Amino acid sequence: MAAYTTTTIRPKYHQAIIDWQKRNFPEIDLLIKNWDRYFKGQTPFQLTVKIGELQSDAIEYGRFAGMKKIEHAGEMPGNMFYTARDIIKAQCSTELGSIQQHRLTLDDAISDEARFAILRIMAEELRHAYQMFWVLEHDPSWKKPAHGDVAEQTIELLLGMELGTHVLDAFNIEFFRFLDNIIYTAVIDLVGKYQLEMQKVFSYAPVARSMGPMLVEEAFHLGTGRKTLKQIAINATQGKGDYSISDIQRCLNQWYPRGLEMFGNEKGGETAVAFGFKDRTNGQAQSQYIEEVRSIVENTNVAILQTRIPGIEGREARQLAREIIESNEVKRGVAPEDLIFLPNNLFFRKRGPEEVIFQPYDLHGRLLTKDGKPYSAEEYVDYLRSVLPDRFVASREFQKYKEQMVNYRQWQQSSGFALA
């Protein structure tokens, strides 16, 4: 028996999201038609709100800990009210943005199974956006005197977002190959899992009630990413498929830094904890995320080594992969470039601590220098071209990164900032 109840949102907003789906995700009809073929025995997709149970009726963290969870947004004081709105808006933006991204490369799927897995992920992300609409539209107290109807304003803003205008950078990047779909699902969707887990304690009860059902669906997204990444890596090792190990590494280099930044500045996050919105600071959650992505990379390397060295056990393969990467030497006929590795968390950052963002760190966290000085913006761009996917380097998002880096580095120079 499901541990949630279901409902729908008001017809006005229900139709608005249906209209959005018809423009941005018409393939949902193909998914529904073929659901039993690919997901037999699993509950068919429905666009509905799922209202779960609270893990506690009381606020569990922050300055209001012990008080009853808040049922009406209007009861939250000023900064708390708008911080909650911003978190809900960002969550919904990620769901809508990812649908727009995934659709770009659906036709390049490595198999029908992989294509329909992504279609299911897109449908569940649509439901998650629908869930966030419910959080806003069912509570009339989002409309406050002198503030207007915050819920309506936010929903209209979300419905108008296109790639390039979403809240978080990771959701403004175009997909160019199906490899993007898979690395994204393995690395970026994993951040989503952390955000949903942290927000199970949310002091505004409607958000907290939404997290459990969303987490159940998120598990399929993560499983798809990890399973398909292994298959792509095995194919590459066998000389099959459209992607090489180098392609996988470059794609990981592109997406992983944006995943790190989805947590916010790793030195911050205290406000969200103080308001009882999350149970961890940005840095605490990011550290846990780094280790989980490291595990995904290691599991992929185990699959590669078990393909190359028949009969090798998982534990031995894991240790061998670590030795090859750490020593940067060939062992048992396997070279470092035959495996993938996790980029350093300083690499290719545009959000975070001042000493990190837009600084010329390489994939291994080493500061790139020339004549004793850090690389200029132009020199760092040249380096990035050598380690990122060619089509991404030619994209508008990379161009935006270059412009932001130049402006930021100029500002740092004028303010007297210098790297140690």
What does the pLDDT average to over 198-223? 97
Q: Let me know if residue 334 belongs to a domain.
A: no
Q: Are both 142 and 227 inside the same structural domain?
A: yes
Residues 6+ apart with CB under 8 A from 222: 185, 186, 189, 190, 193
Residue 142 falls inside a structural domain: yes
Mean pLDDT of the chain: 96
Long-range interactions of 264-273: CB distance < 8 A, separation 24+: 264/351, 265/351, 265/352, 265/353, 266/352, 266/353, 267/352, 267/353, 271/79, 271/83, 272/83, 272/87, 273/61, 273/62
Q: How far apart are CA 354 and CA 146, in angstroms?
A: 37
Residue that is last in its domain, among 278, 300, 322? 300
Using alpha carbons only, give the angle 101, 103, 106 rounded to the nearest 5 degrees.
120
User: Residues 85-124: pLDDT tens digits?
Assistant: 999 999 999 999 999 999 999 999 999 999 999 999 999 9
Whether residues 55 and 200 fall in one domain: yes
Whether 108 and 178 have beta carbons less than 8 Å apart is answered as yes
- The fraction of the chain above a pLDDT of 70, given in percent, is 99
Q: Which residues of 332-357 are buried (b: 16+ CB within 10 A; e: fewer)?
A: eebebebbbbbbbbbbbbbbbeeebb
| Residue 321 within any structural domain of the chain | no
Residue with the two structure tokens 């207007």: 148
Question: What is the domain range of residue 368?
Answer: 344-420
Residue 419 pLDDT grade (very low, low, confident, very high; cuts 50, 70, 90): low
pLDDT of res. 2? 61
CA angle 355, 361, 366 (to 5 degrees): 105
pLDDT digits (tens, 9 = 90+) for 152-166: 999 999 999 999 999
Are 360 and 244 members of one domain? Answer: no
Same domain, 174 and 256: yes
294 with 354, same domain?
no
Instruction: Tell me, yes or no, whether 75 and 211 share the same domain.
Output: yes
Residue 320, domain member (yes or no): no
- The model's pLDDT over 212-262, given as tens digits with 9 standing for 90+, comes to 999 999 999 999 999 999 999 999 999 999 999 999 999 999 999 999 999
For residues 264 and 386, membership in a common domain is answered with no
CATH of the domain at 265: 1.10.620.20
Asked if pLDDT for residue 420 goes beyond 90, the answer is no
The domain total for the chain is 2
Percent of the chain at pLDDT > 90 equals: 95
Asked if the structure places residue 196 within a domain, the reply is yes
For 162-195, how does the pLDDT look when each residue is reduced to its tens digit (9 = 90+)?
Answer: 999 999 999 999 999 999 999 999 999 999 999 9
In a domain, 308, yes or no: no
Residues 211 and 99 in one domain: yes
| pLDDT over 70 at 60, yes or no | yes
Q: Is residue 105 part of a domain?
A: yes
Can you tell me the distance from the alpha carbon of 50 to that of 210, in angstroms, rounded to the nearest whole number? 7
pTM of the model: 0.96
Cβ neighbours of residue 313 closer than 8 Å, sequence gap 6 or more: none
Residue 225 shares a structural domain with residue 358: no
Same domain, 79 and 175: yes
Mean pLDDT across the stretch 283-298?
A: 98
Are 53 and 178 part of one and the same domain? yes
What is the per-residue pLDDT for 1?
A: 42
Domain check: are 410 and 272 in the same one?
A: no
User: CA separation (Å) from 250 to 144, 183, 187, 201?
Assistant: 48, 10, 14, 37
